[in-house]
Amino acid sequence: MKHIQWFPGHMTKAMRMMEDSVKLCDGVLVILDARAPAATYNKNLKKLFGNKPVLYVLNKSDLADEGRAKGFCALIERGGAYALPLCATDSSAAKRVGAKISSMLSEKHRKDEEKGMRRPDRLMVAGIPNTGKSTVINALSGAKRAITGDKAGVTRGKQWIRCAGFELLDTPGTMPPSFENQYLARHLAFIGCINDDILDFGDLSIELLGELSRLCPEKLTERYGISDFSAPLAMLEQLCKRRGFILRGGEFDYERGAKALVDDFRKGRIGRITLESPEEYENFGV
């Protein structure tokens, strides 16, 4: 697959904007994708957060492997940060995140009380594109979206949304993904965190089949009747055969097969899968 890159200029600009926002907050919610927590984590951001408490939300947990998602959460919490598997579209999402935020900020609450003043808790949402930042913000703020400005008439002032028990910066910090590791960069492509226009679905499907055949061959058998795992191209052909993706003349319609595979994976139709194993990431999130 093509080497995936991010322009350094974008990186610097995104980081600078995030840095300004973080300063105004008591804590940060970093949204990761529970199907690929390591790939959707950008360790460069850790330094921006300074001493601010961080809650890592492993979102889209409805599409992910439950045990692995929990394993990553345990790793993160062992390192001193907070973590929560979440399905942001679930009706219980706001309540679960709210409870976690409140325990994360208990130290601030105690200090506020000592000083005899209770400032509102202010948080921001951050994460790489497509992890569900907007969905989380909508879930936390509810339908009404009460917006509270820092100062009326100051257009440059940040907008805060009043949520149950805290205020949320209305615009999420969009952070660039880290592409230092091409194995993890591929995971970003699989889950749809990279603009599809720059991706070759043929290549992508071959890589995905290779990885899924090592991780969960039984799921490929169940959905596509794949039984010969000797080579990814042969797997794609079995998929095409099963789904009837055959061109006039009898050739396999590889392109259709590739698209179907990636689409099925992204929508969770192959099963609940987390591509990375917590065992491989000893010091994750710390």
CA distance 94 to 189: 28
Is residue 42 involved in binding ligand GDP (CB under 6 A)? Answer: no
Alpha-carbon distance values, 270 to 3, 63, 160, 225 (Å):
27, 10, 39, 12
Cβ-based nearer residue to Mg ion, 168 or 235: 168
**Residues 87-106 as x/- pattern, contact with ligand GDP by CB under 6 A:** xxx-----------------
Q: Where are the alpha helices (DSSP H) in 24-92?
A: 46-49, 66-78
CA distance 144 to 128: 26
Cβ-based nearer residue to ligand GDP, 126 or 185: 126
CA distance 12 to 183: 24
Nearest to 1, CA basis, from 151, 170, 201, 156: 201
Query: Binding site annotation covers 95?
Result: no
Tokens, residue 127: 């994460």
Other Cβ atoms closer than 10 A to 191:
24
Query: Binding site annotation covers 277?
Result: no
Is residue 134 involved in binding Mg ion (CB under 5 A)? Answer: yes
Among ligand GDP, Mg ion, none, residue 89 binds (CB under 5-8 Å by kind): ligand GDP
Is residue 221 involved in binding Mg ion (CB under 5 A)? Answer: no
> Which phi and psi angles does 25 have, rounded to 5°?
-110, 155
Query: Binding site annotation covers 115?
Result: no
Tell me the window of 44-52, 116-124, 133-141, 187-195 that interacts with Mg ion (CB under 5 A): 133-141
The least distance separating ligand GDP from the CB of residue 275, rounded to whole angstroms, comes to 16
CA distance 75 to 85: 13
- The residue within the footprint of ligand GDP, chosen from 21, 42, 59, 178 (CB under 6 A), is 59
Q: Which helix (H) or strand (E) holds 256?
A: helix 254-266
Cβ-based nearer residue to ligand GDP, 159 or 221: 159
Residue 35, CA atoms < 13 Å, CB-side half-sphere? 25
Among Mg ion, ligand GDP, none, residue 60 binds (CB under 5-8 Å by kind): ligand GDP
Is residue 36 involved in binding ligand GDP (CB under 6 A)? Answer: no
- Residues of this chain that interact with Mg ion (CB under 5 A) are 134
Positions that interact with ligand GDP (CB under 6 A): 59-60, 62-63, 87-89, 127, 129-135
Q: Which residues are annotated as a binding site for GTP?
A: 59-62, 130-135, 173
